[in-house]
Structure 1
Amino acid sequence: MSTASVVTGEFEAVDQQRFALSEGSRFIGAEAAAAAGFAEQAFICVDIPTGRLFSTTGEPGAGLHLRADLDVPVGAAARTAAGGWIAAAGTSVIRLVQEGGLLRAGQTLAELPVANTEDGSASSTAPAQRVNDAVADPHGRFWPGAMGLEGEEGYGFITRVDPDGQCRRVTDAMTIPNGPAFSADGATMYFAETSQGRIMRASIDVATGHVAEPELFAQVEEGNPDGMTVDAEGCLWQAVYGGGCVLRYAPDGSLLEKISVPARQPTSVALSAEAPYRVIVTTAAQELESPSGHDGRVITAPVSVAGRVADVFAGCPRAPRGSGLRPVMRITVLG
C-alpha cells in the first residue's frame, strides 16, 4: 500500500443529521446542479428507507438540502440526458417530476423482476424485495440492484435498464448486491456481493451492454463491501460497512490505501470532479444501539485525486406509462 494518503485533511460532518441508511452518493457536476436548481450543490445522496434525496456542496457544515420525498425506499437517483431525473424506487425505475418545490414520483419506466426464486423463475412465496444501489453507465444505461427486505439469501440481483426501457437481469442470484461502478470507458463493471465480502469485476460489451462472467476482484476480510466509485485515475473506492473504512484499489486489484473514517458503517463514497477535490462518505446508524462519532452522518474530507462526473441515463422515449409506485414497507436493513 502507498504510504501517502490521498485524503489530505480530517473527515467532518456535512450535516449533523443521523440517518438509518444514507447511501447512493454521486457527484453530478456544477453544470447539472445549476440546471436542476441546486445552485452549487453538486453532490447528491439518498436516505433509502425514508425515500428522500438530498443535495449538498460537500463542504463541512454545508448541510443537506431535501430535493425529493417519495413514499417508497429509494436506492439511488441519476440525471437523464434531457436534464431530468430518474430513481430506483420501491421495485421500479421511475421518472422524477417537479411538484411543489420537490421531485416526486412520476412515470414508471421499468419494473424490476422481483418475486423470483434463486434460479430466476417466478414464485408466489418469494420474500418482499426492494431496490438497492443503482448507477448510470457511460453509455446511457441504468443498472439498479434489488434485494430481499431482510437480506434473504438468494433474492438479490443486478439488472440493466436500456435506453429503450427494456429491463434485463444480468447477474445470478445474490443476497445483497451493491454498486455497481464503471470504468470511464464503460467496458468494466465492478459490483459487490456484500454478504460474502466479495468485490467482483466483469467485462461489458459497450455496444450491447452484455455482461461477461464476473471474476473476483478483491475479497474484503473485515466488514462488508457496500457502495463504490471509480476515480479519474481508474482506481476503485470501496466503502466497507462495519469496517469503518474506505478501501482504494488499483485497476489490477492491488490495495493502494485503507482510509479510516469516523463512522462504523460507511455505505457509499463519491468524489468531486472539479477542484478543490473532496470526497463524501455516507454512513448508516441502523442496528447501532448507541450511535457515536459520525455514525449515520454524511461526512467529507479534502482529497488530492479527482473523481468523475456521474454518468446520465439516455432516456426511455417509448416506456409505457405505469400506474405509479406500489407502496412497500419502510425498512432499515443493510443496503
Structure 2
Amino acid sequence: MKLTPSLAHFVWLCTPLQGATPADWQSQIRGVSRKGQIPQETCLNTNPSSSAPSILEAPRCIWPAAATLGEGTLWSQREQALYWVDILERRLHRIDPASDMRTSWSFDEEISAVAERAGDPGLIVTLRRGFALFDPAAAEVPPRYLLEPEPERTANRFNDGKCDAKGRFWGGTMDFACKAPTGALYRFDPDGRCSRHDDGFAVTNGPTWSADGRTMYFNDTVRGRVFAYDFDMATGTPSGKREWLRFAHGDGLPDGMTTDAAGRLWIAHWGGACVSCHDPVSAAELCRVKLPTRHITNCAFGGPDLRTLFISSATSDLTPAQREAEPEAGGLFAVRTDATGLPAPRFGG
C-alpha cells in the first residue's frame, strides 16, 4: 500500500475479518485471502472465541518524535503518563497526554524496556547488557546495574520486556545485527535471581500473557512466529512451547504486543503498517488498526479508562523516499478503542 504525506495518513481500519469486507479494504490487506480471512497455515484454527473490538476514532500522532527505534511503551497508572524509549538514540521519553507535557532522558547506552517498581520509586529498565534501576525523579543519579546475564554474548543487546502478574521482569535479548540466533528469554526475580527460559532467537519481542495468566506469548520476530507457552504463575515457569501464529508473507513481522482485558492480543507489525488484534484461543485475526508508517514497533493500553491504545514506531531502515512519504514515522500514536487494557504489573524489587 502506497502511503502519501497528506491528511489521508489518518486512516484507521478495524473491520472484522470474518464475513463481508469492502473490496478496497481487501486490496489493502497483504497476506489475507479473497474471503477476508487469515490464510489457513497462519493460525491454529479459524473459529474465534472473541468478538472483534471497535476503533472509536482515527489514530493520531501525539508526539512526532521521529524516533530511530521507538519501543518499550508502558502506561503508568499512578502517574497517568506513558513511558516509551528510542532504543538506538538511547533515550527514555515520558508524555502526560492530559497536559501534553513531554520529558526525555538520555543514557550512555541503549535502553529498550521499562517497568515501574511496586514498592519503591523509579523504574526497572533493560539497558544494552542487562537489568538496571533508574529513577526519573532523580535523573542526576545514573542507572544502577543489577545484573548482566550473558556477558559472553558480546554481540547481543536487550530488546523488549515487561513484568508478569507476580512482579517478575521478563526481558529478551537479540543479536544486534538481527541475524545470529543468539537471543534468549530471561526472567529476573525481585530477589535478584535470574534464569534463562528459552534460547535461539535472532530478535525477541514480548512477552505478554493471557488474561488469566495461564498462557505466555513470545515473538520470534525474524522468523515471523508467535509462540505460546503454558505458564505456571506461581513458579514463573513456561512450558509446552508451541507455534501459535505465523505471520503471512508480506504482512510484516511480529514486534511488540499487549493483551486486553478480554484476553485478545494486539501485535505491532514491523514493516506491516498496522497493529493486528487476535483471538486468544484460535489466533484468528479479529481486526487491525492501519497506521501511516510501516515500521510499527510496540503498543500499550492507557488513559484513565485504559481504552486508549498507544503505539510506537520507527524510522530505522527507511529509505529517503520512504521517509519523505511517511513524515510521521518514528512518532507516538494514540487511538481510542472500546477494548479495555490491563494495568501493567510492577516489578516487585
Q: Same fold (TM over 0.5)?
A: yes
Tell whether the 8 Å contact from 1:14 to 1:63 is kept in structure 2 after alignment: no
Query: Helix, strand or coil: the match of 1:14?
Result: strand
Q: Distance in 2 between matches of 1:266 and 1:20?
A: 12
Query: Helix, strand or coil: the match of 1:133?
Result: strand
The residue type paired with residue 95 of structure 1 is L
In structure 2, the gaps of 5 or more residues are 1-16, 22-51
Query: Helix, strand or coil: the match of 1:105?
Result: coil
Does structure 1 residue 6 correspond to structure 2 residue 54?
A: yes
Aligned counterpart, 1:295: 329
Does structure 1 residue 176 correspond to structure 2 residue 203?
A: yes
In structure 1, the gaps of 5 or more residues are 34-39, 117-126, 316-335
Aligned counterpart, 1:133: 160
Q: Distance in 2 between matches of 1:239 and 1:44?
A: 17
Tell whether the 8 Å contact from 1:21 to 1:47 is kept in structure 2 after alignment: yes
Runs of 4+ residues deviating >4 angstroms: 2-5
Over residues 262-304 of structure 1, what are the superposed CA-to-partner deviations in whole Å (9 max), with x where a residue is unaligned? 1110000111263272111100001112312421111111111
Tell whether the 8 Å contact from 1:198 to 1:220 is kept in structure 2 after alignment: yes
Q: Which stretch of structure 1 is more off in the superposition, 221-230 or 275-284?
A: 275-284
Among 79, 82, 86, which residue is 1:47 paired with?
Answer: 86
Does structure 1 residue 238 correspond to structure 2 residue 267?
A: yes
Q: Distance in 2 between matches of 1:9 and 1:111?
A: 43
Q: Distance in 2 between matches of 1:95 and 1:21?
A: 22
Q: Distance in 2 between matches of 1:92 and 1:189?
A: 22
Does structure 1 residue 80 correspond to structure 2 residue 109?
A: no
Does structure 1 residue 311 correspond to structure 2 residue 345?
A: yes
The residue type paired with residue 328 of structure 2 is H
Aligned counterpart, 1:62: 100
Q: Distance in 2 between matches of 1:180 and 1:110?
A: 20
The residue type paired with residue 335 of structure 2 is A
Does structure 1 residue 192 correspond to structure 2 residue 219?
A: yes
Q: What TM-score do you get using the length of structure 1 for normalisation?
A: 0.82
The residue type paired with residue 158 of structure 2 is V
The RMSD of aligned alpha carbons is 2.0
The residue type paired with residue 300 of structure 1 is A
> How high is the sequence identity, in percent, across the aligned residues?
29
Among 116, 122, 131, which residue is 1:93 paired with?
Answer: 131
Query: Helix, strand or coil: the match of 2:275?
Result: strand
Taking a change above 3 Å as real, the CA distance of residues 201 and 104 of structure 1, as seen in their structure-2 partners, is farther
Does structure 1 residue 25 correspond to structure 2 residue 55?
A: no
The residue type paired with residue 80 of structure 1 is R
Aligned counterpart, 1:201: 228
Among 270, 273, 293, which residue is 1:263 paired with?
Answer: 293
Aligned counterpart, 1:219: 246
Deviation at 1:258, TM superposition (A): 2.1
Q: Distance in 2 between matches of 1:21 and 1:277?
A: 25
Aligned counterpart, 1:274: 304
Q: Distance in 1 between matches of 2:214 and 2:117?
A: 20
Among 271, 284, 298, which residue is 1:254 paired with?
Answer: 284
Taking a change above 3 Å as real, the CA distance of residues 240 and 142 of structure 1, as seen in their structure-2 partners, is same
Taking a change above 3 Å as real, the CA distance of residues 110 and 234 of structure 1, as seen in their structure-2 partners, is same
Taking a change above 3 Å as real, the CA distance of residues 287 and 98 of structure 1, as seen in their structure-2 partners, is closer
Taking a change above 3 Å as real, the CA distance of residues 294 and 90 of structure 1, as seen in their structure-2 partners, is same
* Larger Rg over CA atoms: 2
Q: Distance in 1 between matches of 2:329 and 2:143?
A: 33
Q: Distance in 1 between matches of 2:189 and 2:215?
A: 17
The residue type paired with residue 18 of structure 1 is A
Q: Distance in 1 between matches of 2:243 and 2:141?
A: 38
Aligned counterpart, 1:112: 149
Over residues 11-42 of structure 1, what are the superposed CA-to-partner deviations in whole Å (9 max), with x where a residue is unaligned? 1111122010000101121x2x1xxxxxx4x2
The residue type paired with residue 86 of structure 1 is I
Over residues 55-77 of structure 1, what are the superposed CA-to-partner deviations in whole Å (9 max), with x where a residue is unaligned? 12347x936421x3211101111
Q: Distance in 1 between matches of 2:217 and 2:97?
A: 25
Deviation at 1:141, TM superposition (A): 0.4
Q: What TM-score do you get using the length of structure 2 for normalisation?
A: 0.79
Tell whether the 8 Å contact from 1:15 to 1:63 is kept in structure 2 after alignment: no
